[in-house]
Structures are given as C-alpha cells and as structure tokens.
Chains A and B, each alone.
Chain A
C-alpha cells in the first residue's frame, strides 16, 4: 500500500506530461468548428464581379461546393491560389468552386483576381463580414466543403497546401459526389 502511494506522484506526473506532450503537436490557432455536419448558413451575397453570379445558400443545392474566403491583402491566400486555379481547370465537373471576398474593397479583390487568375465559378462580396461570421470565419483564408444537400462537411483554416488538397479535399469531393444509395 505504502509503495503505491509513493508511486502516485510519478503516475500523476506521467499523465500530465503525456497531455502536455500531445499538446506540443497541436495547433492552438485551429478552433474546432461547431458547424461541421450542420446546414450551411442562410445568406444571399451580391456578386463581386458583375460578369459572374453572386452567391447564396440555394446555389449549393445539388452539387459539391468548395467555398473559399479570400482577400487581396491576405498573403496566405496567394500561396493557395495556384491550387485553386488547378482545381478549376481539372475538376470543374466534380466541384463548384466559389469565392467570398472578405473585408476587402471590391476593386482590390477584382484586380487581385485579374492579375493572378480567377478560378471561381461564383464570387460573393461580403462587405459587412456578417456572412463570414455566420460561417464561423475568424481569419482568411478559410475553406469549407459543402455536400450536395447543403451540409458543411469540412473546414480548413489557413492556406491549403498540396498535401491537404490531394489527400483530404479531392478524396472528399469524390466521396460526396457519389449519389446517396
């Protein structure tokens, strides 16, 4: 009995140290979203580009949609941008890529897109950031995958890299486009 009592502090230390060790490999800036598996919020955004449609909730019905919040002042958005160009060129039949410009002047977003290329099928302009708050956005870039029923399936905070695109997003897009049996 005495022996076990002497071991107790060591055991407590090991448990606490175990949690701390796990914490070393977690990203504290990533906040779990309560919106996963929930229907996408209800909104209707005006178009950023007068030549392209705006974006509202009903536009997500019937097909897989990747919603990307971006801004011209956002440096990480520039990093992930080529992957979206690639996605639009190669997988436009599987996924509808939609942009929402966040906290940006429309002319700045437009000139950013005209310089780097515009991969989006639709672009909504979120002047007041109210729609972004409804999506739980707390920084750009943020990207959401929505299934054909309009349910949010996945959220990515920060720039998407090739690994995430190839190993998480593309397989999920394929999975979600399968007809529900």
Chain B
C-alpha cells in the first residue's frame, strides 16, 4: 500500500500541466473559448523571450498577445484565423511548431534521414562482422615450417647468454 503513494505522485506529476503565466483577469468566461485560447497561445512564441510560448511568458508583449488572441476568438474567428493574424504581423517565426512546406523540408526530413543512415550503417557493420566470423581466415593458421624454425631460433637466443 505504502509503495503506491510514490507511484500515484509520479503519475500526478507526469500529467500535471506546466504552470502558465496566463493571469486570472485574462480568462474568458466561456471555458471552451478559454481552452481554444490556451491551445493557440501554447504554440505562439513570445518574441521577447523567444523560447517561451506566450502562455508561459511574463513579458508584457506576451500578455498583449494573449489578450489579442482572446479578443479575436470572442469575435468568432477560428483558431487558424487567429494564428494567421499573428503570423501576418510577426512572421512564421512565432510558430513554435514550424509549418510543413518546401522551405522547411530539410528541417522535417533531416532527423529521419540521419536515423535511416545510422540504421543502415549499423546493419552493414553487423552483417560484415557476421561474415568475418564465418570466414575460415578468422581461425588462427598453423605456423609454416619457416616460422617454426625462426621461433625456435629466437627462443634459443634468449636462453644462450
């Protein structure tokens, strides 16, 4: 029974939402609209702190943008329309998740590409090492007569003085 407490705590932490900088006075009265605002805000970069979303950032600009997002939601815009509005002003750089299009193909395809290369290299290495094990050359060859004589001479030399 006592063992379950850490497990429950770990599960609670795993599913806990990170604390956002969204202030209570910004909340929309409609929880559905507020949730949409969170979904949008989580994916918009705060241009002041750059690696935080506008929902995570305490920068005044982030607050202005959160209010703007909520205002446009209340005006009846779709999530995509709100995002397009912000992108038109600040560029695609504000999207924390880059769009999938020609100029970002390298970004999206490079990781799977390098993973594939690594898999291929690992496979080739594995296959070659298996092949080498199977080869008769891998076994030690018996010494030739000339090698035997040379070895005997060297050993004799050692004993001599």
Contacts and interface: CB of A to CB of B under 8 A. Distances in A.
Do A and B come from the same complex?
yes
Nearest to A137: B61
B63 to A, nearest CB: 10
Interface string A116-140: 0000000000000110011110110
Nearest to A136: B89
A139 B46 CA distance: 11
Interface residues of B, number: 15
Contacts of B92: 34
Contact of B90 (A34, A103, A129, A130): A34
A35 interface: yes
A28 interface: yes
Contact of A133 (B48, B89, B91): B89
Interface in A51-103: 103
B99 interface: no
A32 interface: yes
B68 A34 contact: no
Nearest to B90: A136
B73 to A, nearest CB: 16
Contact of A34 (B48, B61, B89): B89
B28 interface: no
Contacts of B87: 34
What are the 5 A-B residue pairs with the smallest beta carbon separation, nearest first?
A: A138-B47, A34-B91, A136-B89, A31-B93, A129-B64
Interface residues of A, number: 16
Contacts of A31: 47, 90-91, 93
A149 interface: no
Contact of A103 (B60, B68, B89, B93): B60
Interface of B: 47-48, 50, 60-61, 64-65, 68, 87-93
A130 B91 contact: no
Given A133-B68, A138-B47, A34 B60 contact: no
Contacts of B60: 103
A20 B87 CA distance: 27
B93 to A, nearest CB: 5
B93 A32 contact: yes
25 contacts: A28-B50, A31-B90, A31-B93, A33-B90, A34-B87, A34-B88, A34-B90, A34-B91, A35-B89, A103-B60, A129-B61, A129-B64, A130-B68, A133-B64, A133-B65, A133-B68, A133-B89, A136-B91, A138-B47, A138-B48, A138-B61, A138-B90, A139-B47, A139-B48, A139-B61
